[in-house]
Copies of this chain bind each other. A is one copy, B any other.
Amino acid sequence: MFERLRTDILPGLVPRHAKIMVAVSGGPDSMALAHILWRYMREDPAREISLVITHVHHGARKESDQEVKLVQQMAESWKVPCRIHRFDAKGYAKATGQSFQEAAREWRYARWQEDMCEEGCTHLATAHHLGDQAETILYRLLRGSGTAGLAGIYPSKDSIIRPLLTFTKADIFQYCEQEKLPYAIDASNEQPVYVRNRIRLQLIPTLERDYNPRLQEVLGRMGELLRWDEDYLVQQMETAWNLFFLKGQDQSVGLKGEVFKEPAAILSRLLRRAAMLVNQERRGLGYTYVTKIMASQGKPGWKQDLPGLSVRITEEGIWFSKPQKREACAGGSLVADTAKPSCLDIPLVLGSQHKISGLGVEVALLTEEDVASSAAALDGPGYAVAVFSKDFLARTQGSLVCRTRREGDKIWFQGVGHKSLKKVFQEAKIPAAERSRYLLIASGNEVLWIPGLCRSGLCQAEPNSPKAFCVIKPQTGHYNLNSL
**In the complex, A150 has a CB within 8 A of chain B:** yes
The answer, yes or no, to whether A95 is at the interface (CB within 8 Å) is no
Minimum C-beta distance from A222 to chain B (A): 6
Chain A, 251-272, CB within 8 A of any chain B CB: 263-266, 268
Q: Does A280 contact B (CB under 8 A)?
A: no
Interface assignment of A327: CB less than 8 Å from any CB of chain B? no
The reply on A9 being an interface residue by CB < 8 A is no
Interface string of A225-247 (1 = CB under 8 A from B): 11011011101100000000000
Q: Are B222 and A233 in contact (CB under 8 A)?
A: no
Closest to A217 in B: B144
A328 in the interface (beta carbon within 8 A)? no
Asked if A43 lies at the interface with its beta carbon under 8 angstroms from chain B, I say no
User: Cβ of B229 and Cβ of A142 under 8 Å apart?
Assistant: no
Expressed in whole angstroms, the minimum distance between the Cβ of A167 and any Cβ of chain B is 17
* A150 and B266 alpha carbons, distance in the complex (Å): 19
Segment with Cβ contacts to B, from A207-215, A348-356, A370-378, A390-398: A207-215
How many A residues have CB within 8 A of the partner chain? 39
A266/B143 in contact, CB under 8 A: no
A482 to chain B, nearest CB (A): 35
For A264, give its contact among B141, B222, B228 (CB under 8 Å). B228
Knowing A229-B233, A233-B229, the reply to whether A207 touches B147 (Cβ < 8 A) is no
Chain B contacts for A150, CB-based, 8 A: 150, 222
Q: Say whether, besides A210-B198, A229-B233, A221 and B144 are in contact (CB < 8 Å).
A: yes
A306 within 8 A of B: no
Which residues of the other chain, B, contact A143 by a CB distance below 8 angstroms? Answer: 212, 218
Is A232 a contact of B144 with CB atoms below 8 Å? Answer: no
Chain B residues, Cβ within 8 Å of A229: 146-147, 229, 233, 265
Q: Are B287 and A263 in contact (CB under 8 A)?
A: no
Whether A142 contacts B225 by the Cβ 8 Å rule is no
Q: Complex Cα distance A413/B228, Å?
A: 28
- Report if A268-B233 is in contact (Cβ < 8 Å); known contacts: A210-B198, A222-B145: no
This protein's copies in its complex: 2
Residues on the B chain within 8 Å of A219, using CB? 141, 144
Complex contact B232–A263 (CB within 8 A): yes
CB distance from A34 to the nearest CB of B (A): 29
- Tell whether, in the assembled complex, residue B287 and residue A226 are in contact, meaning their CB atoms are under 8 Å apart: no
CB proximity of A40 to chain B, nearest CB, Å: 21
Answer whether A195 and B222 are a contact pair too, CB < 8 Å, given A147-B229, A228-B268, A264-B232.
no
Contact assessment for A287 and B144 in the assembled complex, using a CB-CB cutoff below 8 Å: no
Query: Contact: B228 with A263, CB < 8 Å?
Result: yes
Q: List 26 A-B contacts (CB under 8 A).
A: A141-B219, A141-B222, A142-B207, A142-B212, A143-B218, A144-B212, A144-B221, A144-B222, A146-B225, A146-B226, A147-B226, A195-B211, A198-B211, A203-B207, A203-B210, A203-B211, A224-B287, A225-B268, A229-B229, A229-B265, A231-B265, A232-B233, A232-B236, A232-B264, A232-B265, A236-B236
4 cross-chain pairs, A with B, having the tightest CB-CB distances, nearest first: A144-B218, A232-B265, A146-B225, A228-B264
Residues of A bordering B, CB below 8 Å? 141-147, 150, 195, 198-199, 202-203, 206-207, 210-212, 215, 218-219, 221-222, 224-226, 228-229, 231-233, 235-236, 263-266, 268, 287
